[in-house]
Each structure stands twice: as C-alpha cells, then as structure tokens.
Structure 1
C-alpha cells in the first residue's frame, strides 16, 4: 500500500500545484474583462479576441481545477443525506461513486475530446468570429482537465481504500465523536 500512497501523494502535489497556479487566471480574467468593458464603453471599441481570451481563461480555470477541487473535497455532493451516514459508509459511497461514475464519465470525455483537439490542432482551426483566436489551445484543456480529474480520482480511491484498511488515518473524520458499535463501526 505504501507505493500506492506515494503515487497518491505525487498526484495530490501535481493537482495542488496546477490548481494554485491556474486559479490566478481568475485575476487575469477580471483584468481582461474590465479592460475590455472599459474600452467598449469609453472608446466604443471592442475586440472578439478579448472576449475569446475571457472565455479561454474561464475554460482553463474550470477544466484544469477540477482535479484540484476534488483534492480539496469541494465538489458538489449530497451531504444532506451522506453527512448523516456512518463515516465508513460515506467512504464506501465515495469509492463506488468514483468507480461507477467519475472514472467512466472522465474516460468517455477524455476519449471523445482527444480527437476533437487533434483535428483542431492539425487544421489550425480559427474562431469563426472576426478577429477571433486559434481554437486548439482551449480544446486541449478538455483532455488535460479530465486527465487531471481522473488522476485525482485514482488518488482519492487509493486514500479511501487505505483508510478502510487502516493504512491511513481518516482526514475526513474531523475529530467528530461518533458512537461506535461493538465491531468499531461508527453509528
């Protein structure tokens, strides 16, 4: 289990670095948006390229930070129901959800997006809007983002299994004091 936990730690560090680096693009997005709005209203001048830069930056943040969001446990979940269940059951729900939903969905999107990116790259596809940008860089964000999400899903799966086997402390328990049954199950 130690080699898998080392791999998990490496994946976590990669997504942590990507997330902390890429989320600075939000500031760039605000600056570009403000500048574009200022030019449009003061000088009655605007550019599709600047609008597309905003769109590209948003897509980059959204896609490349998906793995980071999973790492930080800030993705959408139904805590109203799951939060009332024993911690061990919550971990099993995360394991099943990762295997049954996250991996197939991410693999499907990765599989479908790669040829779309390659076609755009080989054609040097340009935006159809006047003054628009080249499209392949933003299309590359789809397979990159879902690759990072799949890797983080694997990392989370490793950690959940390690918690169940006792090879890792449960950071998600947050020191809650649960009553335990005779077999150690939280109730």
Structure 2
C-alpha cells in the first residue's frame, strides 16, 4: 500500500473522482455493446432508431465529462511531454501548480457558471429529444456539465495541495492514497 500523506478530508476529496472513474469504466463496455446493437439493427435488420445514437452520445458525454477528474487524478490528461519530461519533480510541481491555478480552476469556474442557465432552462422545460423515438429527460444529461466542472475543480484543488507538498518538502514525491 502506498503512503497516504494527505489529511483525511483531502484524501476523501481525492477518492471522489477515483470512485466515479471506476464506475464510469463500465459505461465504456456498455457503449461498445450499444454500438454493436445499433450496427446490427441498422445494417443487418434494416431497422433504425434515434434511440441508439442518442444513448451512445449520452454515454460518451458521461465518460468524457465525469471522467475528466479521474483522468487528472491519474495524470492521463493531455500534456506536452517534450519539455515536461526534462523537468525535476519540483519544477514539475511548480508548472502544475501554475497550470492548475491559472488555467484549470478558472476554466472550471467558467464552465460551471456558463452551464448553469443552460442546464436550468433544460430542467424548467423538461427538455427531451426533438427526434421521434429519441430519449426523454435530456435535461439530466445536460446536468453532467456543471457536475464535471465541480469534480474537475475538486481534483484540481487536491492536485494543487499535492504540488505544494512537493515544493515545500523537497525530495518527497506525493502519491495518491490509492492508485
């Protein structure tokens, strides 16, 4: 078991995206199965419906939006590694700290703030698919946008604390409590 240096409340915040990410993994399998059923029904059975493409879109949205905090937690996000790989742990911590403070957290705030009226209108209108045979309750999938902003912001906060830990405790590399 890896060393758990985080305070209990911070370790709990860190685990939120871990549990959500583990659950979201199953939606990838579900989406593959759904695409197979869609292809079989469209091309072999010559039956089409708006239901399958919309379900695929919803599952992909859930995986992308709610999985973003999990990707950040496991350092699986996009980064220019040509420069980053050459940096020391302390330099990486500084770069990550600045990136999280100047880019990630403001982005999360803007995403949450901008999505609030969009999601609110969808809930008030009880928005559903305009396509015949499409999914009802489209407002539920739209609510994953501010949820993603919150989850990514929480993970960004945890990452900031970890960066500070590396900067202040030279030679000690932070580890997530449960990778």
1:81 aligns with 2:83: yes
Q: Give the conservation status (yes or no) of the 8 Å contact 2:90–2:166.
A: no
Structure 1 CA distance, aligned partners of 2:88 and 2:49? 54
Q: Offset of 1:167 from its aligned partner?
A: 9.1
1:28 aligns with 2:30: yes
Secondary structure of 2:18's counterpart equals: helix
Count of residue pairs brought into register by the alignment: 171
Specify the alignment match of 1:175 in structure 2. none
Of structures 1 and 2, the larger Rg is shown by 1
Q: Give the conservation status (yes or no) of the 8 Å contact 1:8–1:156.
A: no
Structure 2 CA distance, aligned partners of 1:78 and 1:161? 22
Gapped runs of 5+ residues in structure 1?
173-187
Gapped runs of 5+ residues in structure 2?
none
Structure 2 CA distance, aligned partners of 1:83 and 1:128? 48
With normalisation by structure 2, the TM-score equals 0.89
Structure 2 CA distance, aligned partners of 1:157 and 1:69? 15
Deviations 1:56-112 (A, max 9, x none): 000000000100000001111111012112221111000000000000111101111
What's the C-alpha RMSD, in Å, of the aligned pairs? 2.0
Q: Offset of 1:171 from its aligned partner?
A: 4.0
Greater relative contact order (Cα < 8 A, sep 6+): 2
Secondary structure of 1:160's counterpart equals: helix
Specify the alignment match of 1:157 in structure 2. 160
Specify the alignment match of 1:178 in structure 2. none
Alignment of 1:6-21 (within 5 A): 6-21=8-23
Alignment of 1:1-187 (within 5 A): 5-134=7-136, 135-166=138-169, 169-171=172-174
Secondary structure of 2:62's counterpart equals: helix
